[in-house]
Chain A
Amino acid sequence: MAVALQILASGFAAGAVYGLVAVGHSLVFRLTGVVHFAFGELIALGVFVTLLVAAGSGPVSQTSVGGGRFLLALAVGLLVTAAASAGAYFLAIEPYRARGSVIGWVGASLAVAFAVRTLLVVFFDRPAYVFPDPLPFRRIADRGFWHVGGATIQVRTIFVAAAALTLAGLGSALLQRTRFGRALEAIAQDFDAAVLVGLPVARLVGIAFALAGVWAGLAAILAAPSAAFDVDAAARYGLYGLLAAAVVWFDPRRALSAGIALGLVQATVTSAHIGGFELGPAYSDVIPLALGLALFAWRARSMTEAVE
């Protein structure tokens, strides 16, 4: 029971971040028909810029950043993510999308992904980083830990899950209840018609790209202090978010749930012991990806109608 609770808590938290990234992927795909291969790396960019502004690039300890400085760092990091996301759209994706060149935007977005990743690794070359945590979790419960049913759960884990769900809710409200959201829905339904009726489509889509990056980036930054962090960890958010989005064929309403499910599967594979049997961490990426791909393939079977 205790192990199950810990799996639930950690899986839900990780999954909620995957889900938010999946919502971002879905939004981008619905608007442009483009799969944003650089999404994970742009999120990583935001996380590491925040780290750089907050604590420099030298050795870091969690006590070394005050709340004010962290807020400034967060603002800068999110601004950079927004600018990079929008920039990637205008420079690397839109020119090919407009020409209908799938190969073009696939190549361009991958190039952005690897360029950003390599730049990050050049400047942040340590095998793992400690992300400063300015929030006073130590003062909650037992030095930041709840003991529930024999399990010990980090308060921060619950915070990350709650924050991701809140962000998802806010994002959903933004899309459904604002003019901006309705405009995006119009673009998603018919790009060309939206242009014809006079919507500033390029600007709106650029803003959507920026917002998707900011939303997911914020979730990743909030999750970062939970454990050792490196460039690969952030890029993985993009991969798992993509898988969750793909399984539900980029439906923003179901992407969050898919991400959470993925997180729970991963936590179960990593940690669950059933009788004497465990899969273990060697399969913590392999099994969720394999299952997700199998589900994706199952969905693909029903995609027989090509648009005339």
Chain B
Amino acid sequence: MTAYADAYREIRSSWRTRRTIAVAAFAVASFAPLVFGDARTADLADGLYLACAAVGLAFAVGVAGLPSLAQGAFVAVGAVTGAHLLAAGVPTPLAALAGGICGGLSGLIVGYAFARLPRAGFAAATWIVSWLVAFALQSITWFLGGSQGIVVSGGPTAAQHYELALVLTALAALGYVALAHAPIGLRLAAAREREPAALALGVPVFRLRAAAVAVSGTVAGVAGALAVQLAGVGDASQYGSYLSFRLFVVVLIGGTLSPLGAPAGMLVLGVLSLAADAVGRLENIAASRAHTLLTAVMLLGIVSLGWEGIVRPDRGSRRGVLGTGPVRMEAATLNVTALGKSFDSVAAADDVALSIEPGRITALVGPNGSGKTTVLRMLAGAIAPDRGRIDAPAGAVARTLQSTAVFPTLTPLEHILVASAGQRARSGLVRSLFATPKARAEDAAYVEHARRLLDRFAIPPDVPAGELPLSDQRALMLAAAYATGASVLLVDEPTAGASTAEAGRMTDLLRSLRAEGLALLVVEHNLGVVRRLADRIVVLDAGRVIADGTPDAVAADAAVRAAYLGHQAL
């Protein structure tokens, strides 16, 4: 009971007017079968199943940032599964579940196959997938029975399907909210905004993207299986590439970053179909052609106006409560021996050896092109070395990027939650979807921890990171790397572009981290900062270590001076 009471209080405290409107709209919509006849109710139910599938797509497109054009294919997979099972007499709920499972598996396969691609490539791949499925359904009559289709008789009435579709759409929207709010959604959003930075924070980007596509496929599969029963016939021609386009349009029109966007988009498309009927009659064009044309023209108009969708995103608040937050890994030393990496015939790193010890700051310096960033990327695991060894406990190393790479629309609080998500025990897909009491309690504890961390780093928690001054952004990158719980931090040019005061802030932060016992490797061009900060300096030139010692020893090294061509003395 306490858990339910907590949940109720939480919902009540975060309630907004738009949620009241949404609930009211759903409630009013539930009376539609009383007003409309069977045919119209069936049309509305079909539209709602599509809206449900579109909510699933909105998760992949909006939260994960994946331009998925295969949602129609996943609906088709669900429909084929549903049609065969229903025709064989399997009860509707089981057929729907099977459709969801098959749709989810298809999504998982597509996600795993193509989630590594850049977004343009992902769009191309999923577009081809949608055509493949369409051709398979049309050519191989076993799937959906050729021109007569597979007849699916019996089952709920049109009105019952309507209510079921309404409930499913509402549940899909709630699922969207739960997942978008949860660590999985935050990490996907981070990867959407800046994939390299997300990878640097240990976000398993490709796995999560595959999961996002699987989630969208599952929702589509359920919708497809039920829609085919409503239609009374499994019909291959309904699952062409136009279905994927239509779902994509619905999501874009309604808004990709809100769970209510897809239903709103479907409503617009429904109104459009009435207009299409009128245009069709006027111009003696078949209504389906007019509908396609109007949909395409409308989408062109909407994207050309820079429209972001009818329903704007709603950033919910996050409650923090003291509890068990993230735990730091044990202090560890990162040892590197004989590390080497070549790109074509150029040796970017050659026989590099160094040791990054707890409670010490090691600076890695060298002229431009000396291989510092390559070494850093190898130590972080971003690229594989050609030879040599890197000894460090798994997950003990975190890195900041050279460029200022925050996630512009995420708040600093959300940055820290993304970084610390890897340590959570209750942030899996199912727990996130159902927002279990333990998952919410863990979330509250992590939120509180994040607020305290941001307080320590003097970063405002609730402003979108893109609006923060540069120094706050650099500090945020460091805070996020720290929040991963890593005991070894690789910091790439923390004072780049900073004023003296800003550089001082960063060096103070680094010293505080050293005092905590972290092992720090700092790549820096500002030799004054290096001199003041580092316990040890490693100098690279043309990929090789030419000096490794205390700041005084390195400053006196003739080879170091020669490498810098006397431009700047340590």
Chain A residues within 8 Å of B, Cβ to Cβ? 29, 33-35, 37, 91-92, 95-96, 102-104, 106-108, 110-115, 117-119, 121-122, 239, 242-243, 246, 249, 281-286, 289-290, 292-293, 296-297, 300-301, 303-308
| A103-B67, A286-B136 given; 8 more Cβ-contact pairs under 8 Å | A33-B118, A35-B121, A106-B67, A107-B299, A108-B299, A114-B295, A118-B296, A300-B125
Q: Are A102 and B195 interface neighbours, CB within 8 A?
A: no
The answer to whether B129 touches A293 (Cβ under 8 A) is yes
Give bound CA distance, A24 to B195, whole Å: 29
Which residues does chain A contribute within 8 Å of B120, judged by CB atoms?
A: 29, 33-35, 102
> In the complex, what residue of chain A is closest to B252 when comparing beta carbons?
A107
With known contacts A242-B124, A246-B128, A286-B140, A111–B296 Cβ distance under 8 A: yes
Contact with A along B59-81 (1 / 0, CB 8 A): 00100010101000000000000
Most-contacted residue by chain B among A114, A115, A246, A290 (CB, 10 A): A114
Q: Decide if B256 is an interface residue (CB 8 Å cutoff).
A: yes
**Segment 281-310 of B: residues with Cβ below 8 Å from A:** 285, 289, 292-293, 295-297, 299-300, 303-304, 306
Residue of B nearest to A292 (CB): B128
In the assembled complex, which residues on chain B have CB atoms less than 8 Å from the CB atom of A281?
139
Q: In the complex, which residue of chain A has the Cβ closest to the Cβ of B256?
A: A103
CB of B559 within 8 Å of the partner chain: no
Partner pick for A246 among B125, B256, B289, B292, CB 8 A cutoff: B125
Say which residue of B114, B117, B127, B401 sits within 8 Å of A308 (CB atoms).
B401
- In the A-B complex, list the 6 residue pairs whose CB atoms are closest, starting with the nearest: A297-B113, A115-B296, A114-B296, A111-B299, A285-B135, A118-B293
Q: Which of A95, A246, A284, A300 contacts B113 (CB 8 A)?
A: A300
On chain B, the residues within 8 Å of A292 by CB distance are 128
Asked if residues B296 and A107 are in contact (CB atoms below 8 Å), the reply is no
Nearest residue (CB) in A for B284 is: A122
Quick one: which of B205-261 are within 8 Å of A by CB? 242, 245, 248-249, 252, 256
Complex: A249 Cα to B125 Cα, angstroms = 11
- Decide: B117 and A300 in contact? CB cutoff 8 A: yes
Contacts of B196 in A (CB 8 A): 306-308
B6 to chain A: closest CB distance in Å? Answer: 37
What are 6 A-B contacts with C-beta separation under 8 Å? Answer: A106-B69, A114-B242, A115-B296, A121-B289, A289-B131, A300-B125
Complex Cα distance A34/B123, Å? 10
B304: chain A residues within 8 A (beta carbon): 91-92, 95, 108
Q: Which residue of A lies closest to B302 (CB)?
A: A107
Tell me whether B174 is interfacial, beta carbon within 8 Å. no
In the bound complex, CA of A20 to CA of B300 (Å): 28
Given contacts A286-B132, A308-B403, A111 and B123 within 8 Å (CB-CB): no
Nearest A residue to B134 via CB reads A285
B306 neighbours in A (Cβ, 8 Å): 95
Distance of A280 from chain B, by nearest CB (Å): 9
A242 to B120, CA, bound (A): 12
Residues of B within 8 A of A (CB): 61, 65, 67, 69, 113-114, 116-121, 123-125, 127-129, 131-132, 135-136, 139-140, 195-196, 199, 242, 245, 248-249, 252, 256, 285, 289, 292-293, 295-297, 299-300, 303-304, 306, 382-383, 401-403, 405
- Given A92-B304, A102-B123, A110-B248, A122 and B285 touching (CB < 8 A)? yes
Is the pair A114, B292 in contact by a Cβ cutoff of 8 Å?
A: yes
Which residues of chain A are within 8 angstroms of B245 by Cβ–Cβ distance? 110, 114
Q: CA–CA, A186 to B154, complex, Å?
A: 63
Whole-angstrom distance between the alpha carbons of A307 and B120 in the complex? Answer: 14
The distance in angstroms between the C-alpha atoms of A117 and B241, with both chains bound, is 12
| Pairwise interchain contact A103-B116, C-beta atoms closer than 8 A | no
Q: How far is the CA of A281 from the CA of B141 in the complex (A)?
A: 13
User: Which chain A residue has the least Cβ–Cβ distance from B123?
Assistant: A106
Q: Which residues of A contact B403 (CB under 8 A)?
A: 308
CB-CB nearest in chain A for B242: A114
Q: Tell me the smallest distance from the CB of A236 to a CB of chain B, in Å.
A: 9
CA distance A303 to B131 in the complex (A): 24
B131–A239 contact, CB under 8 A? yes
Asked whether, in the complex, the Cβ of B125 is within 8 Å of the Cβ of A293, the reply is yes
Q: A95: which B residues are within 8 A, CB to CB?
A: 304, 306
Complex: how many Å from CA A172 to CA B513?
A: 57
Judging by beta carbons under 8 Å apart, are B293 and A115 in contact? yes
Indicate if the CB atoms of B303 and A111 lie closer than 8 Å: yes
User: In the complex, A29→B120 CA distance in Å?
Assistant: 9
A156 to B128, CA, bound (A): 30
User: Bound state CA distance, A33 and B117, in angstroms?
Assistant: 13
How many angstroms from the CA of A189 to the CA of B128 in the assembled complex?
27
Whether A306 touches B248, Cβ cut-off 8 Å, given contacts A106-B69, A290-B132, is: no
Decide: B123 and A305 in contact? CB cutoff 8 A.
Answer: no
On chain A, the residues within 8 Å of B292 by CB distance are: 114, 117-118
Contact of A282 among B119, B139, B382 (CB under 8 A): B139
Q: What's the minimum C-beta distance from B257 to chain A, rounded to whole angstroms?
A: 11
With most chain A CB atoms within 10 A of its CB, the pick from B128, B252, B297 is B128
Q: Across the interface, name the chain B residue whose C-beta is closest to A304.
A: B116
Contact B128–A96 (Cβ < 8 Å): no
In the docked arrangement, what's the CA distance between A104 and B251, Å? 12
- State whether B119 touches A289 (Cβ < 8 A): no
Q: Whole-angstrom distance from the CB of B523 to the nearest CB of chain A?
A: 13
Give A75 to B451 CA distance when docked, in angstroms. 67
The answer to whether A104 touches B303 (Cβ under 8 A) is yes
Q: Which residues of B contact A284 (CB under 8 A)?
A: 139
Docked CA distance A34–B409 (Å): 24
Indicate if the CB atoms of A243 and B128 lie closer than 8 Å: yes
Q: How far is the CA of A106 from the CA of B126 in the complex (A)?
A: 12
Q: Are A303 and B248 in contact (CB under 8 A)?
A: no
B116 — which chain A residues lie within 8 A by C-beta? 300-301, 303-304
A305 to B343, CA, bound (A): 14
Is the beta-carbon distance between B383 and A306 smaller than 8 angstroms? no
Which residue on A lies nearest to B405, using beta carbons? A308
